[in-house]
């Protein structure tokens, strides 16, 4: 299963809303996670099961979608949110594929 | 809090072997599946291998099958990634990550804790 993210780069201003997209090559139900990766750091789980925020993740992060199309929305971007974001499916073991990432930049 | 720390990375010549370790702390290590993921600098994430909490289930990505293997020692709170016949294209940061499932015989959840990573450089 391929995960395709778009756009590759998203330019937004602080305080604005960022909408990131992820498309699966086949139906993955709601078994999609989103991760944030800041420069020089390891990824951090933001969202699981397409829409459930991980522990400690602010409410400005929200996920939606099912089947093949998924969205990560960040409302009121803060300086700390400018980073790389990856989607991942986990519907089948041994096939934990990630999207290629979307860079959110100022 | 829950932590994973990788070790064992370094510079190695093509064709050589390397063993990476992933040490867990701050949580019941023997209840969780552990994955290995790598990232070529400036590139995306590639899943490599997983072991279930009890090591009864192991899987390795097709891209490294036959060269990489995964094992664990719960008595030491450690998971290993043994890498053989290393190639320049194996140069990457290697992360271990915890599966979010508990006592899952078939780990199939997101990765809720990640280590800081260890760099492996395959260079002649």
Predicted confidence (pLDDT) per residue in B61-112, tens digit: 999 999 999 999 999 999 999 999 999 999 999 999 999 988 888 888 999 9
**Does the beta carbon of A63 lie under 8 angstroms from any beta carbon of chain B?**
no
Closest CB to B112 among A45, A86, A99: A45
Closest CB to A86 among B45, B61, B107: B45
- Residues from chain A that touch B1, judged by Cβ atoms under 8 A, are none
Separation in Å, CA of B22 to nearest CA in chain A: 14
Distance from the Cα of residue B111 to its chain's centroid? 12
Q: What local confidence, expressed as pLDDT, does residue B104 receive?
A: 85
Residue closest to A74 by CA, chosen among A44, A38, A47: A47
Separation in Å, CA of B47 to nearest CA in chain A: 6
**Long-range contacts, B18-22 (Cβ 8 Å, 24+):** B18/B82, B18/B83, B18/B86, B18/B120, B19/B80, B19/B81, B19/B82, B19/B83, B20/B80, B20/B81, B20/B83, B20/B94, B20/B96, B20/B118, B20/B120, B21/B78, B21/B79, B21/B80, B22/B78, B22/B79, B22/B80, B22/B81, B22/B96, B22/B115
Per-residue pLDDT of chain A (106 residues), as tens digits, is 899 999 999 999 999 999 999 999 999 999 999 999 999 999 999 999 999 999 999 999 999 999 999 999 999 999 999 999 999 999 876 678 999 999 999 8
Number of A/B CB contacts below 8 angstroms equals: 57
**Long-range contacts, B86-89 (Cβ 8 Å, 24+):** B86/B12, B86/B13, B86/B14, B86/B15, B86/B16, B86/B17, B86/B18, B86/B120, B86/B122, B87/B14, B87/B122, B88/B14, B88/B122, B88/B123, B88/B124, B89/B122
Q: What local confidence, expressed as pLDDT, does residue A94 receive?
A: 67
Determine the average pLDDT of the residues in B48-57. 94
- Residues from chain A that touch B59, judged by Cβ atoms under 8 A, are 93-94
Look up residue B43 and give its DSSP letter.
S
């Amino acid at each position: 299963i391929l995960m395709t993210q778009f756009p590759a780069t998203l330019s937004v201003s602080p305080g604005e809303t960022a909408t990131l997209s992820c498309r699966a090559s086949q139906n993955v139900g709601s078994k999609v996670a989103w991760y944030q990766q800041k420069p020089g750091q390891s990824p951090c789980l933001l969202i699981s099961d397409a829409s459930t925020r991980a522990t400690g993740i602010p409410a400005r992060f929200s996920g939606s979608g099912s089947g093949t199309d998924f969205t990560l929305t960040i409302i009121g971007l803060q300086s700390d949110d400018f980073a790389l974001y990856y989607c991942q499916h986990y519907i089948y073991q041994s096939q934990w594929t990630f999207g290629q990432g979307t860079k959110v930049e100022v | 809090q829950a932590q994973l720390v990788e070790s064992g990375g370094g510079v190695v010549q093509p064709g050589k072997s390397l063993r990476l370790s992933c040490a867990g702390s701050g949580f019941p290590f023997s209840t969780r599946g552990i994955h290995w993921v790598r990232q070529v600098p400036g590139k995306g994430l590639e899943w490599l291998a997983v072991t279930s909490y009890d090591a009864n289930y192991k899987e390795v990505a097709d891209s490294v099958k036959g060269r990489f293997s995964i094992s664990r020692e719960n008595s030491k709170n450690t998971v290993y990634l043994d890498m053989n016949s290393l190639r320049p294209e194996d140069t990457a940061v290697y992360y271990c990550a915890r599966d979010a499932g508990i006592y899952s015989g078939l780990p199939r959840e997101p990765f809720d804790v990640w280590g800081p990573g260890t760099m492996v450089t395959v260079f002649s």
